[in-house]
Structure formats: structure tokens, C-alpha cells
Structure 1
């Protein structure tokens, strides 16, 4: 019995010495891995009468609008929505299949937008708020081979947070399956 206790103590001492010898403190701040874009082969363009994989009723429901009109579809999709208590909301979707998130980020900052980096559905993204003719914001993310963006403006209003709505649409797009 005494021999068994001695063996256990020896193993415990050696284990503690080994663990202590391998332990180290690392300086710095933990950061998210800046890897590749999820779903690099997915396209987000205008397909089957949908913009960014969302149909009109999804855009309407996502923003809680009473009515939605899509006056233009193609390289970009434009929407005009009416929402009780918010009035008219102008929305634009765009997907640049060979775009670059860093370039879009730089352009938004250069145009005077307040830019905030974020991650949306595992995609590097940013919001860019710029209130010139009404409260307006875009949410842009690296997606597929390029970048996609939703821009939301509360027509004629200087209050409210259109970044929340832009990010809702961006999130819905990145969650969509074809």
C-alpha cells in the first residue's frame, strides 16, 4: 500500500512539474481569425425575381412595412416601402461580384460616413451612417466573390436608426438559401 501511495505521489509531482514547465503567458489581445469569406462560390445577384436572395415579401416583413414597391431591378434593386409610424423608406440592394470590402469601407469613410466595423453571420462587415437628405445607413459585407450592401434611408427624417434596418436586411440575405 505504501508503495502504491509513493507511485501516485511521484506521478503527481512529475505531472505538476511538466505542466508548470510547459505553461506560458502570451501577451496581446485575442483576435478573431481573418480567414476566407464563408460561401465563396455563392452568388447574391438578381435571380428569379429576387434581389440578394430575398423576395419582396421578405423585404417587406423584415422591415415591418405595410407596402412595398420595387421600381427597379438589375445591377441594383430599389425599393420604396411605407411603414406605419416611420413614413416612407427608400431601400437599395447591391452586390458587386468582384468587389472589395476594404475599398467600400474606404469610400464610405471618404464620403463622410460614420463607419463601424462588425461581423454579420460570420462575414466581415461594416455599417456606414450618413444623414444628408434623411437618416440613412448602409450595411455592407464581404460575400461570395465580392461585397453586398443594403442601404436604408428614412425619407425626410433626421431621427431614427436606419443602420438597424440595413443590418436586418443584410442578415436575412446572408442567412438565405437558394
Structure 2
């Protein structure tokens, strides 16, 4: 009895041996690449009646608020929102020549509890400081500077405004993609 081997079978065996010989296992967890190189031409300021690229309706929807007003707009935009009877104060700021480390250091100096995180592939941090209500800001490097959303649950002793601030920052950074 004579065995015949087809050329396809031999090629498949060679390929399997080659792949097995080159395989390597690496420890760790896959990580998304961070977007740390700011676009110096990106403007997150007050443009077309929007703050941080978000319309007032978008801010209201993200925070699940019933009502919203924006008493001031510019490099800093201020909002007052209501969820039922609960008042929420929100501030957006973008500083075109800001620095993330400088903002983090200032938050620490002012007594905030600072936590580093990544939001939409941007290095960021939360700064929680409950003085006149439960308050938190989330700040990220973006454009040529830094942008930040600050949320305060007015007269509230409990709650996590960092979640709301992070949602606003995420929406701002997503609208830039």
C-alpha cells in the first residue's frame, strides 16, 4: 500500500507548525490607546449658543432634569437645573491654555478628593469637595487646554454628582469625535 499526500495537506501542516512556532503569550489586559495629543485648533468654548459643544437640551437630557436655564455663557457657562424640587448647579469651563496637572494640583490644594480616570480615551480626574452641597468636577485635557464640568446637588448631603459630571464630559468629548 502506498500513501499519497496531497500538496494542500502538507501546506496546512507547515502553516500550523510555523504559526505554533511563532506564537507568544503576553500577560496583562488589553488597553485602549489614550488620546493625549491635544488638537491645538479645537475650540470647546461658547460657539453657536452651545457650551462645550452641547446644547442646553442635551445638558438637560443627560442630567434627566425637568427644567434648565443658563444665566451666563462664555469661557465659563453656568446652568441651573431642576429635577422635581431638587436644584442642580452646573458649570462648564474650557481654558484654551490650561494644563491638567496644574488643575489637579489646585484641586488638591483646595481640599478636594481627587481620583484619576480615563474618559473617552482622555486622561481626566474627578475632584469632589462637598462644602455647600454635594459637588464634583470632572476635568480632562482637550484641545490646547483643559475642559471641566462641575455639578453640585444644591443643599444635598448625599448623592454622587461625579456621575453626572462624567456624563457631561463624556458627551462633550464624544461630540468631538
User: If the TM-score is normalised by the length of the shorter chain, which range does it land in?
Assistant: 0.7 to 0.9
What's the counterpart of residue 89 of structure 1? 88
Q: Distance in 1 between matches of 2:27 and 2:119?
A: 28
What's the counterpart of residue 101 of structure 1? 100
Q: Distance in 2 between matches of 1:28 and 1:58?
A: 38
What's the counterpart of residue 10 of structure 1? none
Q: 1:64 to 1:23 in 2, by over 3 A?
A: closer
Q: Distance in 2 between matches of 1:105 and 1:153?
A: 19
What's the counterpart of residue 36 of structure 1? 36
**8 Å CA contact retained: 2:34, 2:122:** no
Q: Report the alpha carbon displacement of residue 75 of structure 1 after superposing the two structures with TM.
A: 2.0
Q: Report the alpha carbon displacement of residue 38 of structure 1 after superposing the two structures with TM.
A: 5.3
What's the counterpart of residue 136 of structure 1? 135
Secondary structure of the residue aligned to 1:53 is coil
**8 Å CA contact retained: 2:71, 2:79:** yes
Q: Report the alpha carbon displacement of residue 172 of structure 1 after superposing the two structures with TM.
A: 1.1
**8 Å CA contact retained: 1:129, 1:136:** yes
Taking structure 1 as the reference length, the TM-score comes to 0.80
Q: Report the alpha carbon displacement of residue 177 of structure 1 after superposing the two structures with TM.
A: 4.8
Q: 1:27 to 1:96 in 2, by over 3 A?
A: same
For the aligned residue pairs, the C-alpha RMSD in angstroms reads: 2.7
List structure 1 runs of 4+ shifted beyond 4 angstroms: 18-35
Q: Tell which deviates more after alignment, 111-120 or 34-43.
A: 34-43
Secondary structure of the residue aligned to 1:103 is helix
**8 Å CA contact retained: 2:88, 2:152:** yes
**Runs (5+) with no aligned partner, structure 1:** 5-14
**Count of residue pairs brought into register by the alignment:** 175
Q: Where do 1:1-178 residues align within 5 Å? A: 36-37=36-37, 39-84=39-84, 87-177=86-176
Taking structure 2 as the reference length, the TM-score comes to 0.80
Q: Distance in 2 between matches of 1:157 and 1:141?
A: 26
Q: Report the alpha carbon displacement of residue 47 of structure 1 after superposing the two structures with TM.
A: 0.5
